[in-house]
């Protein structure tokens, strides 16, 4: 049966037949954009909160593990043979509750840690651990950033060359040096670098670079190069693998088929895309190099935080060891979280996993 509607009858609303009311396309696009932005921001906030909780848990675990490890180390940090007077020993014991049960000491330690108080050095009278970190970490950070610059530039350059000259003499030589850079510890490179520099200074009769010390740019060059050798070798391998994958991609073959110059193909298509994996590891690399220069700072007599950490371990200075370890751990966790959040902001697939 067919229903005939009169011409003068009022039009039926569209939702009677299950059709939504007509909305202008421009308004629909605006509404969709608003809802997508709300959903995106909500997901990003959830991802950020999740990473912050994980980071705080990691720092708490580092602080707890450091506390337990230091209290299981043989020896007494306040022993008389370390040159600490009885008055200082009594004050420090009362200040940090060293004569109390281990559980009570732990909660005192956590309370001071939450307040940002790492305590007073056991071996350096009237010197706060916070002051040691504040004065000497910038030196370590400067050395670390310079080492990362050397490592990044060298890794990109050598990695690109090994990919362009694959299975030829430059590739063989560079990959041999990469294996050495990964296998040989940094303190060996430090000693060899100092020995080579001493011989060169004696050969030319002038001081090309200082052998040790800190203060000018010339003092930073050799330690930064030595500190960045391992990271440079790793970045070279990473750049080589990425470059080989890019070289055989479809868009590179298309660019060659169009007759583009080789230099333009290399700079615009190969290098720009192959360098992305290298950039992604620079955040953790900065933190790792900055917090990993203990021995290099000691060999080159650099007044960085790593040097004081090594001295604190030798002297069993509990507060300096625990303070610098937690600080370095928190700094590393912070850098990893920053990189993860950048990943999540750039690639939505990361924060949805």
Express each pLDDT in 71-125 by its tens digit: 787 766 666 445 556 776 777 677 666 777 888 888 888 888 888 888 778 777 7
Judged on CB neighbours under 10 Å (0-12, 13-18, 19+), 164 is middle
Mean pLDDT of 164-174: 86
Judged by average pLDDT, the poorest of 20-24, 91-95, 212-216, 277-281 is 20-24
The per-residue pLDDT for range 237-293, each reduced to its tens digit, is 888 888 888 877 777 778 777 777 777 777 777 777 777 777 777 777 777 777 667
CA triplet 124, 128, 130: central angle to 5 degrees? 130
Is the residue at 315 inside a domain? Answer: yes
Give the pLDDT score at 84. Answer: 58
Report how many domains make up the chain. Answer: 1
Q: Which CATH number does the domain housing residue 340 bear?
A: 1.10.3720.10
pLDDT at position 291: 67
What's the first-to-final CA gap in the chain, in angstroms?
Answer: 55
Does residue 77 form part of some domain? no
Average model confidence (pLDDT) across the chain: 77
User: Do residues 193 and 225 touch, judged by C-beta distance below 8 A?
Assistant: yes
| 111 within domain boundaries | no
Backbone angles phi, psi at 120, to 5 degrees: -105, 140
Q: Is residue 96 part of a domain?
A: no
CA distance 326 to 113: 9
Residue 120 pairs with which residues in a beta bridge? 128
Does a structural domain hold residue 127? no
pLDDT over 50 (residue 19)? no
Residue 241 lies in a domain: yes
At residue 41, the pLDDT reads: 57
Q: Is residue 310 domain-resident?
A: yes
How far, in Å, are 189, 308, 327 from residue 289 at the CA level?
A: 15, 16, 15
Sorting pLDDT into bands at 50, 70 and 90, what band is 15?
A: very low
Is residue 307 in a domain? yes
**Close Cβ partners of 172 (under 8 Å, ≥ 6 residues apart):** none
pLDDT above 70: residue 306: yes
Q: How many CA atoms lie within 13 A of 200 on its CB side?
A: 11
* CA-CA-CA-CA torsion sign (176, 182, 186, 187): negative
Cα–Cα dist 353/346, whole Å = 14
Q: What is the pLDDT of residue 4?
A: 52
Is the Cβ–Cβ distance between 146 and 217 less than 8 Å? no
Give the per-residue pLDDT at 79.
61
Domain, as residue range, for 290: 136-352
pLDDT given for residue 9 in this prediction: 52
Local confidence band at 16 (pLDDT 50, 70, 90 cut-offs): very low
pLDDT in tens, 140-167: 888 888 888 888 888 888 988 888 888 8
DSSP string, 193-239: HHHHHHHHHHHHTS-SS-SS--SSHHHHHHHHHHHTHHHHHHHHHHH
Which pLDDT value is given to residue 343?
A: 65
Task: Decide: pTM greater than 0.85.
Answer: no
């Amino acid at each position: 049966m067919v229903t005939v509607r009169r011409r003068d009858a009022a039009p039926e609303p569209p939702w009677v037949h299950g059709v939504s009311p007509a909305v202008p396309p421009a308004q629909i696009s605006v509404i969709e954009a608003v809802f997508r932005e709300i959903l995106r921001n909500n997901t990003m906030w959830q991802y950020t909160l999740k990473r912050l909780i994980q980071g705080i848990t990691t720092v708490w675990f580092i602080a707890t593990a450091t506390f337990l490890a230091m209290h299981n180390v043989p020896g007494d940090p306040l022993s008389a043979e370390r040159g600490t007077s009885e008055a200082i020993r009594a004050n420090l014991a009362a200040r940090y509750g060293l004569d109390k049960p281990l559980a009570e000491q732990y909660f005192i330690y956590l309370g001071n840690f939450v307040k940002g108080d790492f305590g007073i050095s056991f071996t350096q009278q009237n010197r706060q651990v916070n002051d040691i970190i504040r004065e000497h970490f910038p030196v370590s950070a400067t050395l670390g950033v310079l080492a990362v610059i050397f490592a990044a530039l060298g890794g990109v350059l050598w990695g690109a060359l090994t990919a362009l000259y694959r299975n030829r003499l430059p590739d063989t030589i560079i990959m041999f040096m990469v294996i050495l850079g990964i296998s040989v510890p940094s303190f060996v490179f430090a000693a060899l670098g100092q020995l080579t520099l001493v011989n060169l200074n004696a050969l030319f009769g002038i001081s090309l670079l200082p052998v040790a010390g800190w203060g000018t740019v010339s003092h930073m060059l050799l330690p930064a190069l030595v500190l960045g050798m391992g990271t440079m070798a790793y970045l070279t391998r990473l750049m080589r693998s990425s470059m080989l994958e890019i070289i055989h991609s479809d868009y590179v073959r298309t660019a060659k088929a169009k007759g583009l110059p080789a230099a333009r193909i290399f700079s615009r298509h190969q290098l720009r895309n192959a360098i992305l994996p290298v950039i992604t590891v620079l955040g953790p690399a900065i933190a790792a190099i900055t917090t990993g220069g203990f021995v290099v700072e000691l060999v080159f007599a650099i007044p960085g935080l790593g040097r004081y950490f090594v001295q604190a371990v030798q002297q069993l200075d509990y507060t300096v060891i625990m303070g610098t370890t937690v600080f370095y751990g928190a700094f590393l966790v912070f850098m990893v979280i920053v990189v993860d959040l950048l990943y999540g902001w750039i690639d939505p697939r990361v924060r949805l996993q």
